[in-house]
């Protein structure tokens, strides 16, 4: 174990409860009861209370009576730093502070938490909390939690790392109810010392963990979290639930800042690191449970074979899978010939395969579908009808090497629970309903695609020659000059200092033109009447210039109008948590209203950037929708990657955005651009 190892915390030889009490309502009494099973299993449990003659008078005395690796501190907030220091001096290597009254409460609590950090810094003791409901390690017999019912959480191979103690316990209970159990469940609380990356790094070295559920509320060190998830996901699956979808928080003045919310950026970062993303806690349980039982081989375009013994649930399952973007390919003629010999003629056999009722042929049907060359995973649903078929035997018979199976078994009672357990023991993921099957199957698909993607360096090198001199204020004309250096097409334009120059520009460019206010301090020109389109004649131009002057214009931009097309937004910004990120999506003046965007950490390869539009809800608009233009995805990838490279190469560049980036018949052209820079004193080399 290293000096910063969490093994003494999660696998202690001995535990001391400091502040133990005989009063059953007090925290110290509750923690002592929770840890009683640890003592019954042979662990050293020491109760510490200087005012009770039946207990140890100090943590030092407790450590002298037997090994104490973990101190569970149940005293008022003001006393906690002193007790933590005493514990470290006594040789204790880890501690949990469950109580509140620290930074989350403000006032003196901020100083109490700062004092805890100072003890950790000075002594090296590891600290979970404060303000946490603790952790569970059922296999080690440690339930360092004050939540009733924790003793009933059964051991398993799924680990939970949650920002919230309440969510930590809710997931532990749900995993137990679903039959998967828990290897380790940790509520981080205020995270004064131990944070999510610390626990993830610990789990990466734990052979007893098969899959990890990660619950994220906020992130303080984005790069470290990404690296920890990347390291762990290379060994075992990570399923992440990120809170905060509707909290846009504070953002930069451009659309990119508004759209790259902390929620969206965090999800994108975790997905890039290899995590499977889910939308709620129920999906999290189904997904991580399935991945703890089975895992698909890495592949780029997996297909689902769907088998149902009841048409209605099968339709629900099919609809859910397609809504998640799963591919359900038609089975080959050879597979259909096999199925036609097994099933009645009126049953549907193309994919999904509907058996009509569960019967003795179910195992052979599953085997036939699993053998189809287009099928990478089987998703099935069967009601529990033991008189019609032995589902466990059929599933075992129907297994195909390299093709995992997710089976929904509907029913209730002990017999159903036993069959579900038997299926899991056979390496078959189980769910109780069609939605659970869909969530579990989608998780297997996402995990396989993530591992099947081309392996690229975690931080690609920025190409030589990327401009690194982006400083000062940029108006639209200057921003487009920079885009030209990156090879981004713009329309012909002229920057004009007065009306005479503007009229000369109109004569040179010919109409129609766009006439805009040119000012580096105005980022959203349309909102103040700073943009006028379709200007053709001199009179039109004078009218437009009058309105621009009324809006405060001192300079003008006269630019040729672009052909009609589909408007996109692409940008790069320096996220305060994760560093440089890039964004691509549907754009124009409604970019924020649509919020149909996708985000990646930068720098990234052109190939990674070119794949981003596939995630957009409006993806069809980019592929010739109703005779419209067709996007060159490689060219878009080149532009997005170039913006990311630009940001990564220049610490003084804060944000660059192209909105709209017009997709027309002749390709992509930048119609507007915004560049935001920072002062040299504000630059952060690590971001």
Q: For residue range 125-158, list pLDDT tens digits in order.
A: 999 999 999 999 998 999 999 898 888 899 999 9
Residue 27: pLDDT above 80? Answer: yes
- Give 417-438 pLDDT, tens digit per residue: 999 999 999 999 999 999 999 9
Q: What is the pLDDT, as a whole number, of residue 251?
A: 39
All residues at 6 or more sequence positions from 110 whose CB lies less than 8 Å from its CB, including other chains: 102, 103
The alpha carbon of 531 is separated from its chain's Cα centroid by a whole number of angstroms, namely 38
Is 252 a residue whose pLDDT tops 60?
Answer: no
Q: Are strands 126-128 and 155-162 parallel, antiparallel or unpaired?
A: unpaired
Which 3 state secondary structure label does DSSP give 571? strand
The H or E element spanning position 607 is helix 606-610
| pLDDT (average), residues 515-534 | 92
Residue 406 has pLDDT above 60, yes or no: yes
Written as six digits, the tokens of 105 are: 């409460």
Which residues neighbour 682 within 8 Å (Cβ) at sequence distance 6 or greater? none
Is pLDDT of 17 > 60? yes
pLDDT value of position 595: 85
pLDDT classification of 454: cutoffs 50, 70, 90: very low
What architecture is domain 566-682? Answer: 2-Layer Sandwich (3.30)
What the block records as the tokens of 381 is 């649903």
Homologous superfamily of the 492-560 domain (CATH): ATP-grasp fold, A domain (3.30.1490.20)
Q: What percent of the chain has pLDDT over 90?
A: 83
- Give pLDDT tens digits for 582-594: 999 998 776 777 7
For residue 238, the model assigns a pLDDT of 98
pLDDT at 397 over 60: yes
Sign of CA dihedral 73, 76, 78, 79: negative
7-209 and 492-560 agree in CATH topology: no
Q: Nearest 5°: phi and psi at 537?
A: -105, 170
Q: Which CATH architecture has domain 7-209?
A: 3-Layer(aba) Sandwich (3.40)
Identify the pLDDT of residue 463: 67
* Lowest mean pLDDT segment, chosen from 32-41, 72-81, 453-462, 604-613: 453-462
CA dist., res. 466 & res. 553, Å (int): 33
Task: Report whether 216 contacts 256 (CB < 8 A).
Answer: no
* Residue 457 in this model has a pLDDT that exceeds 50: no
Angle in degrees, CA 558, 560, 561, rounded to 5: 120
**DSSP SS3 for 526:** helix
Domain boundaries, the chain: 7-209, 296-452, 492-560, 566-682
Helix (H, G, I), strand (E, B) or coil at 302: coil
Could you tell me which residues come within 8 angstroms of residue 348 by beta carbon, excluding any fewer than 6 positions away?
311, 354
pLDDT digits (tens, 9 = 90+) for 487-513: 999 999 999 999 999 999 999 999 899
Confidence of residue 81 (pLDDT cuts 50, 70, 90): very high
Nearest to 192 by CA among 273, 285, 100, 277: 100
296-452 has which fold?
Answer: Rossmann fold (3.40.50)
Burial of 508 per CB tally in 10 Å (0-12, 13-18, 19+): exposed
The predicted-structure confidence for 349-378, as pLDDT tens digits, reads as follows 999 999 988 889 999 999 999 999 999 999
Residue 460's pLDDT is what?
Answer: 60
pLDDT tens digits, residue range 286-335?
999 999 999 998 887 789 999 999 999 999 999 999 999 999 999 999 99
User: What average pLDDT does the structure give for the chain?
Assistant: 92
């Amino acid at each position: 174990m290293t000096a910063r190892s969490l093994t003494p915390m999660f696998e202690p030889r001995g535990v001391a409860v400091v502040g133990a009490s005989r009063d059953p309502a007090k925290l110290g009494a509750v923690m002592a009861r929770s840890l009683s099973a640890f003592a019954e299993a042979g662990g050293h449990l020491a109760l510490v209370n200087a005012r009770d003659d039946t207990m140890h008078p100090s943590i030092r005395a407790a450590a002298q009576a037997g090994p104490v690796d973990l101190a569970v501190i149940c005293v008022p907030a003001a006393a906690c730093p002193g007790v933590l220091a005493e514990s470290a001096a006594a040789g204790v290597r880890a501690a949990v502070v469950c109580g509140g009254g620290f930074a989350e409460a403000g006032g003196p609590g901020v100083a109490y938490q700062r004092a805890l950090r100072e003890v950790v810094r000075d002594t090296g003791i590891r600290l979970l909390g404060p303000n946490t409901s603790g952790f569970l390690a059922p296999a080690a017999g440690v339930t360092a939690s004050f939540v009733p019912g924790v003793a009933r959480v059964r051991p398993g191979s799924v680990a939970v790392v949650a920002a919230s103690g309440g969510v930590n316990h809710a997931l532990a209970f749900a995993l137990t109810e679903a039959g998967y159990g828990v290897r380790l469940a940790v509520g981080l609380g205020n995270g004064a010392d131990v944070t999510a990356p610390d626990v993830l790094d610990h789990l990466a070295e734990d052979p007893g963990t098969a899959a990890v559920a990660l619950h994220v509320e906020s992130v303080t060190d984005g790069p470290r979290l990404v690296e920890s998830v990347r390291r762990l996901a290379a060994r075992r699956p990570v399923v992440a639930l990120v809170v905060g979808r509707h909290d846009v928080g504070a953002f930069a003045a451009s659309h990119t800042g508004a759209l790259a919310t902390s929620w969206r950026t965090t999800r994108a970062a975790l997905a890039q690191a290899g995590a499977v993303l889910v939308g709620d806690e129920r999906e999290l349980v189904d997904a991580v449970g399935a991945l703890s039982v089975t895992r698909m081989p890495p592949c780029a375009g997996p297909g689902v074979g769907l088998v149902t013994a009841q048409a209605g649930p099968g339709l629900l399952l099919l609809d859910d899978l397609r809504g998640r973007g799963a591919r359900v390919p038609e089975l080959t003629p050879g597979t259909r010939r096999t199925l036609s010999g097994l099933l009645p003629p009126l049953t549907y056999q193309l994919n999904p395969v509907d058996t009509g009722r569960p019967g003795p042929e179910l195992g052979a049907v599953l085997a036939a579908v699993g053998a189809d060359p287009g099928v990478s995973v089987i998703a099935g649903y069967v009601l529990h009808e033991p008189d019609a078929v032995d589902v466990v035997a059929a599933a075992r018979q129907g297994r195909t090497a390299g093709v995992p199976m997710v089976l929904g078994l509907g029913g209730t009672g002990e017999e159903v629970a036993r069959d579900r357990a038997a299926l899991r023991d056979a390496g078959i993921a189980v769910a109780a309903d069609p939605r659970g099957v869909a969530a579990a199957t989608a998780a297997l698909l996402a995990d396989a695609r993530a591992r099947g993607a081309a392996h690229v360096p975690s931080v690609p090198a920025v190409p030589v020659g990327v401009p690194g001199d982006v400083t000062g204020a940029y108006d639209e004309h200057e921003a487009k000059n920079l885009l030209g250096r990156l090879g981004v097409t713009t329309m012909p334009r002229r920057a004009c200092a007065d009306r005479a120059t503007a009229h000369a520009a109109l004569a040179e460019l010919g109409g129609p033109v766009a006439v805009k206010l040119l000012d580096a301090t105005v980022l959203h020109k349309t909102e103040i009447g700073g943009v006028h389109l379709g200007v053709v004649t001199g009179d039109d131009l004078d009218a437009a210039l009058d309105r621009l002057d009324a809006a405060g214009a001192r300079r003008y931009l006269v630019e040729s109008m672009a052909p009609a097309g589909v408007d996109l937004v692409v940008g790069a910004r320096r996220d305060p948590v994760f560093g440089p990120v890039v964004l691509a999506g549907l754009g124009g003046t409604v970019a924020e209203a649509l919020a149909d965007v996708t985000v990646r950490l930068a720098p990234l390869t052109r190939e990674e950037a070119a794949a981003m539009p596939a995630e957009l809800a409006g993806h069809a608009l980019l592929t010739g929708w109703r005779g419209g233009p067709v996007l060159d995805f490689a060219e878009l990838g080149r532009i997005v990657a170039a913006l990311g490279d630009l940001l990564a190469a220049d610490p003084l560049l804060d944000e660059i955005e192209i909105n709209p980036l017009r997709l027309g018949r002749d390709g992509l052209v930048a119609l507007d651009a915004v560049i935001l820079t920072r002062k040299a004193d504000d630059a952060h080399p690590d971001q």
